[in-house]
Amino acid sequence: MKTKELVYVSLCAVIIAICSWISIPTAVPFTLQTFGIYLAIAVLGGKLGTISLLIYLGLGAIGLPVFAGFKSGLAALMGPTGGYIIGFLATALIMWGFEKFFGKNKVSFIISAIIGLVACYSLGTIWFMKVFSAANGPIGLAATLGMCVVPFIIPDLIKLTAAYLIGSKISNISKVNTATY
């Protein structure tokens, strides 16, 4: 990895962390995390964007307070919302895969981001139900979706769109991404 790429990857990991701190606390906190992740991929492309996300996840796993609410460690990853945090990795990998097969373009970015978001919601919802049920008793799918997914759909689509628009401009200026969206 070139020095310039390393700097951009590190900067995007920091941006994801800062975006996770901007939150409204609820059962599953409203944050700008998804914006940060989509922005990293829009600016850096799938491979480097995924690496920046892995750095972010690694920093949180070793105890740096980078997750929503300044949480960190394996407890945050194993807690009720940990599935959504891990789901971000699925999102990034899906977007990287789409980029490899379909190229770096607007349609590929938007479709892969939406599919990745559905994957994140799915992993997070399954995990939330498992962890929440173990601690509090059974919770149904409808209740979980109503608490953990439905309120986030429109805000996440807005964040996705904003990240694409901003990221494509940054990518054009920075030239870190060899083929821009």
Q: Using alpha carbons, select from 102, 12, 2 the residue that is nearest to residue 49.
A: 12
> In this structure, what DSSP letter does residue 140 have?
-
Express each pLDDT in 36-51 by its tens digit. Answer: 999 999 999 999 999 9
Cα separation, 45 vs 52, in Å, equals 11
Establish if 41 belongs to a structural domain: yes
Predicted confidence (pLDDT) at residue 177 exceeds the cutoff of 70: no
* Residue 23 three-state SS: strand
Q: Is residue 181 part of a domain?
A: no
CA atoms within 13 A on the CB side of 175: 0
- Coil vs helix vs strand at 24: strand
Strand partners, 24: 30
User: What CATH number is given to the structural domain containing 123?
Assistant: 1.10.1760.20
Answer yes or no: is 16 within a domain: yes
Distance CA 44, CA 178 (A): 9
Give the span between the Cα atoms of 92 and 110, in whole angstroms: 12
Residue 13 is assigned to a structural domain of this protein: yes
CA gap 110, 41 in Å, rounded: 11
Residue 130: pLDDT over 80:
yes
Phi and psi, residue 58, nearest 5°: -65, -45
Q: Is the pLDDT of residue 180 over 60?
A: no
Tell me the average pLDDT across 86-96: 97
Q: What is the count of structural domains for the chain?
A: 1
- Answer yes or no: are the C-beta atoms of 53 and 69 closer than 8 Å: no
168 lies in a domain? yes
Decide if 128 is inside a domain.
yes
Residue 14 lies in a domain: yes
Would the pLDDT of 179 be above 50? no
Which tokens sit at 16? Answer: 């994801």
Lowest-pLDDT range of 69-73, 104-108, 152-156, 168-172: 168-172
Domain of residue 162: give its range: 3-174
Residues 6 or more apart whose Cβ sits within 8 Å of residue 136: none
Q: What is the reported pLDDT for 27? A: 73
The answer for residues whose C-beta is within 8 angstroms of residue 50's C-beta and 6 or more apart is 41, 89, 92, 93, 95, 96
Is 179 inside a domain boundary?
no
